[in-house]
Copies of this chain bind each other. A is one copy, B any other.
């Protein structure tokens, strides 16, 4: 790779920096920047965003927090063995992986860690600020791609919120790609409002909910009466195990339900299951069964089966979100990025729920970014 160094460099600080999504994002960014692969799945590389002033892929510098030790190059090899990354890619982007690996700091709190909330936030903030300063970065965005944490109970800040607080304190934009609490905590509301940084979330829409956000509107626009919408998700990898915990799944399912309620104007019958199936590795299968009534009450059924690779679906969206949020901050946009609802199951703000309208909002937002100074 010999892409010339861009004039300015910006940072992408990943919470869960050694996870499958983060590893795929780092490796994929390098591969696309080097022309080894087309930018499939990256909306920000399509024509409507050509003039949005987004940071070039070559300008992105990666770092982050993680509680695990496995080096990124090794993680990339594991992903290639599982068919998530193309064979040969880890070797082709070994330098970039090593560079990102050198910028990963221990997350927390680890078991037995007796540091209180304030000390943890301060430590995380220092890590981020150090990353920006040493790298000579114009700015950075913090993106949470860690495994889903159990729903928070009580007033204590869960780990995802500690990182979110650190992002605010470091003056960074913040994106929550998971269903974890992050900035959605009462104790952070005032800080978020006062911070002046842009933020987006939560819970990336990569499969079943993506489909629901186009099928729900279809039924509504055709005046068809959805009676029951049932779904089962099978997935392995770390996410499967995390979501097999009912408390973690609850947060995720709330997002899935929201799109139906919003687009159908009511909640049909039906449940959503998330099963941990380790044999599937990073691949997930989502089956949806939709029973609906047509004219004169005639019963009909639509079924969908989505077989995708979670990391390959998420990583390009993570790159999109990082670029959009970095540019938004550069343009002086602050507060909740409602126009990024296209990417999320449970978006901040009061935007539309139908994918087509969300896409229109996103394109409009991209144009506004281009018109900013």
Contacting residues, chain B, for A42 (C-beta < 8 A): 223, 295
- Copies of this protein in the assembly total 4
A84 CA / B296 CA spacing, docked (Å): 9
Q: Does A275 contact B (CB under 8 A)?
A: yes
Interface size class of A (residues with CB under 8 A): 35 or more
Is B214 a contact of A210 with CB atoms below 8 Å? no
The one of B37, B277, B285, B357 in contact with A296, judged by C-beta atoms closer than 8 angstroms, is: B37
Q: Within A87-106, which residues are at the interface with B (CB < 8 Å)?
A: 87, 89
If A87-B87, A223-B41 touch, does A295 touch B28 (CB 8 Å cutoff)? yes
User: Chain A 213-235, CB within 8 Å of chain B: the 1/0 string?
Assistant: 01101100111110110101010
| Residue A251 at the chain B interface, CB threshold 8 Å | no
Q: Is A356 an interface residue (CB 8 A)?
A: yes
Task: Report B-chain residues with C-beta under 8 Å of the C-beta of A295.
Answer: 24, 28, 37, 40-42, 312-313, 315-316
Which residue of chain B is the closest to A291 with respect to CB atoms?
B279
The main secondary structure of chain A at its interface with chain B is: mixed
* Cβ contact within 8 Å between A312 and B294: yes
Q: How far is the CB of A285 from chain B (nearest CB, A)?
A: 6
Residue in B218, B277, B306 whose CB lies within 8 Å of A214: B218
A205 to chain B, nearest CB (A): 10
